[in-house]
Structure formats: structure tokens, C-alpha cells
Amino acid sequence: MSALAESRVSPAARSDLLSWITTTDHKRIGILYLSTSLVYFAVAGALALAIRTQLARPGNTLVTPHTYAQLFTLHGTAMIFLFVAPFALGLANFLIPLQIGAPDMAFPRLNATSYWLFLFGGLVVFSGAATNEGAAAAGWTSYVPLSAIKVSTGLGQDLWIVGVFLVSVATILTAVNFVTTIFIYRAPGMTMWRIPIFTWEMVATSLLIFMAFPSLAADLLLLFVDRRLGGHAFDPAAGGNVVLWQHLFWFFGHPEVYVMILPYFGVISEIVPVFSRKPIFGYTGLVLAAFAIAGLSMGVWAHHMFTTGAVNNPFFSFLSFLIAVPTGVKFFNWIATMWRGSISFETPMLFAIGFLLNFLLGGVTGVMIASPAVDYMAHDSYFVVAHFHYVLGGGSLFAIFAALFFWWPKMFGVKLDETLGKWCFWLLFVGFNVTFLPMHLMGLEGMPRRVFTYPDTGRLAELNAIATFGSYVMLAGVALFVWNVVLSTARGEPVGDDPWGANSLEWATSSPPPEHNFDRIPPIRSERPVYDLRRSGGRAP
Amino acid sequence: MTIGRRLFISSGVFAVAIAVGYWLVAHEITGTFLLGFLAFALSVIAGYMIVAERKADLWGDRGDATMAEAANQVIGTYSIRSPLPFWSALAITSIALGLVISPTLAVLGFLAALGLGAAFIVQSR
């Protein structure tokens, strides 16, 4: 049966608080996900500023070591579990049914339940800060024995465990919804080889979630049993094994990196062709590369464990190097798409180019530390901090801003201000590189990660001061974005259905779309149905 | 063969290959078990899709299908609004939170979850 069978005649959309709490509309749930994850981003960003301020000069005593440990634990947890990954889920919630011509998700109530579990899970994680001994302080990786009851005695660690568990359950349920919707609910003519690249990337991401997140849930349950019910899974004195935590955690944790990047590869694949005025180069190659990355990412978890001596380093090193190949394919496809295109530099495209530059550097340093010889030197140093911030901050964060500027008109019917948007981009781009480029050098000078202070040796003081300055430049960029949202919402000039001259199906409906998504769907005869429609002058091609 | 089937079968084959490959190279039990379990789980899904997948006739799989052809198909009932998801999530959170701070809260959450589950079933009929 088809997804597009009939338009639902729905009552006029309500906008009171109760209607948002009870909504099962995928677009509203998407916007709830996006706004909630942005609030978590603001909190995580504030924690990052506190970290950078503490590290602005050697020997600073702004916070205590224990408070510092809580800061970086909550910062990492919020950025990874509550912002970068859930933002992609929110974007996919909003876009997938629109991109494939479906009226909603396959399981709308399950979709809403997932969102609320995500929201409550995040609140449970942060609620640890209100307990006597403070929030969890064992880092976002929560390694045992740091997270064991003998070291982390407070309730904060337990709340972290159950909060992250709730978020992981929500994520798995959402992935089930995505895959079912994409496989079953496509509109007539929307074959799998015509769905937009973003939707393809969400298929790959969902499969990764199926494979990786149960491992995290199992790991968390074991730790909870150890802490609260006297288990010994991670207690070597009773026959347990601390390295088991790392195995189970990274079996989830490395694929999670791709859960946080594949959707944004999809975002870039949607934006680059629109502002290059060309079809995407190598559609099939991009899809196959996404699945190659997803598959290989399941076999590289132990490159986080090279220094434990408990894994076969050459095997994991080899597979880690291999991931560079499909990633390189994607890069070449994006560049080939821009090649000889009629490129225009609107804000989404600027952020997309920023993504390419930053992610490239993050990818190159990733290849470097995939070599055990280099990893032994850089492990647990600021070099690794710089590497993963270039991937997730310079990569995913820039794609997130690209997505916000690109799809804002579709979500709210108004465009964000272009001039402010460009200022926002430059502040974030310069601020980001000023913050994180010096961290490579800090790491090479021997500064370990997660230390609350450092000696005044070498260039560490200057490098840290520069990084802290950069973080405040980034703050200015984010503040400008908030101002842009306020200003653009206040002006509220409608922009029409397709302000960018885009390609995929979501641009065929009104902005914002009606509750039932489409009053009329154009014929789908390629992966660019809206382009086809425009080219035929609005007539069926 | 549908793309969904191909995806799960190829993923299962890949997982079996790296699980066997890792054991032959490393003889390391924990990693091999993880990869083996992954291969097993994917094989179960792939097997299910080979044996039991319905002969789905999806309009979305027909490249030349038109909107008119697919008109008037009933694809199920959508509830545009429902309070159940919010309360269900709250009940599940209560169970989880109760395990940490108060068994009473966990029991209350469990009872609420049972009631909400029943409400879901009734609403779905």
C-alpha cells in the first residue's frame, strides 16, 4: 500500500502548550527535538566556557578539581548524547516523511514517546548536579573503576547511568520508526534509489543505532548492577574485568561517532548541489559510501583501546584506515558537485564549506591516530581533544548551523537574516579554529586531557590563553544566531514554498507544511522531483 | 529482492566475515564474541527477511506509479494527538529514577506503565 493514500482532513493546527505536549505530528516532534537539543547545547556550551575560563592561565583556581571533573563530564555527555545525535534525530523527524512523500512517521505515538524519553533522560542526567556529592564526574566515557561505587560514591553517577539509558532506549525506538517509515511509507514513484541522500544517510544511521546502542544499554545495566546490587562484572578482585567496560562502551562509542556524522553528511549532500546549481555528483557512490562507513565503523571500536594491550592493534588499525576510503569518496563527490557549478555563497553554503574544511582536518588527524605508533604518543592528550572537536564541532556543529539556516524557512515560513547569518558563520569559523587548532600543539607539548590545571612550561600558557579567547569568539557567534532568530521571527516576512530553488520533495509543499504534509505531491520520476517540476514549468514532466 | 533485504543480508555477511577474520588474526575472545553476537543478530534479521518477509506490493517501489493510481488507499489510522506518549515516558522515567532514589517511585511508575499500556491497546482498537 502507499503512503500517500489520502490527505487527512485535520482540525486547524493548535499552538497552545497542551497541543505541543500531546502532539504526535512528526513535524512538531522534530521541532521539539531540535529546540530541546539546542537548549542542551546552550548548557553544554556554558559548561565549555567554564572549562576554558578555568584553563585560561596556569594554576587557575576558579573551580575545584572535583567541580572541573563534573563540568567536563556533563559537557561531554550533553554534547554527545543530548545535542549532536538528537539534533540529527529531530531533523530527520521533520524531514523524512516530507522527503519521501509520507503523511507521518510509521508509528507516531512511539515517535512522541521517544522524544519525551529523550527529554526526561537528559533532565535525569543533569539532576545529579542537585545531589549532595554533585553530578557524575567520571567523564562521558564513564570508565570503570572511575565510575565504580568505590570511587564515585554519590547518586550523581547513578542518575547519569539511568539518564543515559533512557536516552539510548529513545534513540533505538526512533531508529525503528525511521527504518520502517522509509522502507514502507514512500510515495508512489519514490523508489529507494530516488530518495534524497539525507534520507539514505538516516537509513545507514538507523542501522548503526540498531547495532551499537544495545551494547551501551547492556554496559550501563552491568554498571548499575555493580553499583547498586553488588555485582562484580567490572571488579577484578571478584573475577570481573575493567577492560570489558571499554569493549562494550566503544562497541557503541565508535559507531556513535558515525551516528553523529552520517546525518550531517546527508545535510551537506542536500545543500551543496542547491547552491552549486548542479545535481549531486555520484548519487549511488554517496549511498554506497555511507553504508561502507557504517559497516566498517562496527569493526574499529578497539582503536580507542590500543594502549590497553588487550586488543589486536594491527587489525583495528587496518580497518580504521579503511574508513578513510569511503569518506574520501564523499569528499570527492562534494567537490565534484561544486566543480564548475554556479556557486552562490548564501549562509547555508558557507557553513557547508566550513564543514568541509574543518572536517577534513579532523579526518586527517583521525587517520594519524589510527596508527598505534602515533596513538601511543597522542593518547589521552589534547591532540585527541582537538581531533574529535574538529570532527564533531567543526564538522557536525557547522552542518547543524547549515541545516538550521537551510530548512528554517520550511519549518517556520520565514528566512533567517542573511547578513547576520554570514557574520555568525565567520565568528564561529574563526572562533572555532582559534579555539581548537592550538589544542593540537598543546597535545604535542604533552598536556593531558581532563586536567584542571597545568604547569607554566613551554608554550602551554599562551596556547591556552588563545584557545580561551577563541571560545568567547564562538560565544559571540552563537549569541548572534540567537539574535538572528529573534529578529527574523519578529519581522516574519513569508518566503514561499521554495526560497532556495531546491530539489527534494519537502520543497513542494507549503512553508510551514500543513498537518497532513502535502495537499498535492508532484510526480516523482527522479531524485530531484521539485527540480523536474520547476523545469517543466509546473506541469507534470 | 528488496533493498531492505539486501541491506540486512550484506550487513550480516560482512559481520560474519570480520568476526571470523578477527578470530583468525587475534584469537582474542571478548572482541570476537562482540563481533560474533553482532553477526548472529544481523543473521537472524536477514533470515527473517528471507523467510518471512511479506510479499509487499509497495507503490513506493514502482518507479512509474502515479499519485492517482494510489489514491483512496487506507493506510491506517493516525491519531494526531495523544496524551499517552507523554505519560508513558514519565512512567518509564519514574521506574528508572525510582531504582536510584526510591523503590516506591519505581513501583508507582511500573503500575502507571501497566495502565498506560492497557490504554494504548484500547486506543489502538
Does residue A325 lie within any of the structural domains? yes
Q: How many CB atoms lie within 10 A of CB A526?
A: 16
**The predicted structure's pLDDT at residue A88:** 98
Is A6 contained in some domain? Answer: no
**Higher confidence at residue A356 or residue A536?**
A356
Query: Does the beta-carbon distance from B80 to A159 stay under 8 Å?
Result: no
Angle at A95 between CA A162 and CA A79, to 5 degrees: 35
What is the average pLDDT across B86-111? 96
Type of residue at B69: E
Cβ within 8 Å, pair B18-A186: no
Helix (H, G, I), strand (E, B) or coil at A23: strand
Q: What pLDDT was estimated at residue A60?
A: 94
Band (pLDDT 50/70/90 cuts) for residue B68 is confident
- At residue A7, the pLDDT reads 39
Which residues are A156's β-sheet partners? Answer: A135
Find the angle CA(A54)-CA(A60)-CA(A63) to the nearest 5 degrees.
55
Q: Which of A107-121, A212-226, B24-38 has the lowest mean pLDDT?
A: B24-38
DSSP 3-state assignment of A22?
coil
**Is B28 in Cβ contact with A2 (below 8 Å)?**
no
Separation in Å, CA of B4 to nearest CA in chain A = 7
Alpha-carbon distance A307 to A316, whole Å? 12
Ramachandran category for residue A6: left, alpha or beta (phi over 0 → left; psi -120 to 50 → alpha): beta
pTM of the model: 0.94
pLDDT at position B20: 92
> Is residue B75 over pLDDT 70?
no
Q: Which residue, A103, A85, A80, is CA-closest to A1?
A: A103
Q: Which residue of A has its CA nearest to B29?
A: A311
What cell was used for B32?
A: 570476537
Q: Does some domain include residue A77? A: yes
Q: Kindly indicate the confidence band of residue A4, based on its pLDDT and cuts at 50, 70 and 90.
A: very low
How far, in Å, CA of A377 to CA of A381, rounded?
8
Q: How confident is the model at residue A10 (pLDDT cuts 50, 70, 90)?
A: very low
With beta carbons under 8 A apart, name residues in chain A contacting B18: 298-299, 319
B10: chain A residues, CB-CB within 8 Å: 291
Query: Quick check: A185 pLDDT over 70?
Result: yes
The answer to whether residue A69 is domain-embedded is yes
Mean local confidence (pLDDT), A44-52: 97
> What's A351-362 look like in SS3?
HHHHHHHHHHHH
Distance CA A288, CA A193 (A): 11
Residue B55: predicted pLDDT: 63
Q: Do A191 and B63 touch (CB under 8 A)?
A: yes
Whether A371 maps to a domain, the answer reads: yes
Res. B61 pLDDT band, cuts 50 70 90:
confident
pLDDT digit string (tens) for A468-518?
A: 999 999 999 999 999 999 999 998 888 989 999 999 999 999 999 998 899
Tell me if A540 is assigned to some domain.
no
- DSSP for A27-77? HHHHHHHHHHHHHHHHHHHHHHHHHHHHTSSTT--SS-HHHHHHHHHHHHH
DSSP-based three-state secondary structure for A193 = helix
pLDDT at A15: 74
Disruptive mutation site among B81, B82, B87, B125 for chain A (greatest number of A CBs within 10 Å)? B81
pLDDT for the residue numbered A223: 96
Q: Cβ contact (<8 Å) for A311 and B26?
A: yes
Q: Report the mean per-residue pLDDT for chain B.
A: 85
| Nearest chain B Cα distance for residue A369, angstroms | 20
Q: Is A211 buried (19+), middle (13-18) or exposed (0-12) by CB count in 10 A?
A: buried
ipTM for the assembly: 0.91
Report B:49-78 residues touching A (Cβ under 8 A): 56-67, 69-75, 78
- Residue A141's alpha-carbon distances to A137, A443, A463, A487, in angstroms, are 10, 20, 26, 39
Within 8 A of B101 by CB-CB distance, chain A residues are 155
Grid coordinates representing A276 are 552549486
pLDDT in the model for residue A225: 95
pLDDT of residue A179: 92
Angle A192-A196-A197 (CA atoms, 0-180°, nearest 5)?
A: 100
Q: Using CB atoms within 10 Å of the CB of residue A309, give its burial: 0 to 12 exposed, 13 to 18 middle, 19+ buried.
A: exposed
Instruction: Tell whether the model's pLDDT for residue A456 goes beyond 60.
Output: yes
Cα distance between residue A252 and residue B34, in whole Å: 11
Q: Summarize pLDDT for A382-400 with one digit per residue, the tens.
A: 999 999 999 999 999 999 9
* Of the partner residues A2, A188, A211, the one whose CB lies closest to the CB of residue B75: A2
Q: Where are the alpha helices (DSSP H) in A370-518?
A: 372-378, 382-391, 398-412, 418-444, 460-491
Q: Is residue A435 part of a domain?
A: yes
Q: Residue B4: which of A112, A158, A183 has the nearest Cβ?
A: A183
Phi, psi of A80 (to 5 degrees): -85, -50
For residues A53-67, average pLDDT:
95
Q: Over the stretch A297-325, which tens digit does the pLDDT of each residue have?
A: 998 999 999 999 889 999 999 999 999 99
Number of separate domains in chain A: 1
pLDDT of residue A540: 54
Residues of A in contact with B48 (CB under 8 A): none
Q: Distance between CA A380 and CA A421 in Å, rounded?
A: 36
Per cent of chain B over pLDDT 70 is 90
**Nearest-CA distance from A454 to chain B in Å?**
36
* DSSP notation for A331-388: HHHHHHHHTT------HHHHHHHHHHHHHHHHHHHHHHHTSHHHHHHHTTBHHHHHHH
Which residue in A has a C-alpha nearest to residue B27's C-alpha? Answer: A312
What pLDDT is attached to residue A1?
35
pLDDT at position A27: 96
Q: Identify whether the C-beta of residue A540 lies closer than 8 Å to the C-beta of residue B66.
A: no
Record: contact A166-B92, CB cut-off 8 A: yes
Among the ranges given (A369-378, B24-33, B45-54), the one the predictor scored with the smallest mean pLDDT = B45-54
Nearest to A188 among B35, B62, B83 (CB): B62
Q: How far is the alpha carbon of B118 from chain A, nearest alpha carbon, in Å?
A: 14
CB A370 within 8 A of CB A322: no
Identify the CATH number of the domain in which residue A241 sits. 1.20.210.10
* Interchain proximity A104–B78, CB inside 8 Å: yes
How many angstroms separate the CA atoms of A95 and A255, rounded? Answer: 23
Is A34 or A237 the better-scoring residue by pLDDT? A34
Tell me the residue range of the domain where A399 lies. 25-535
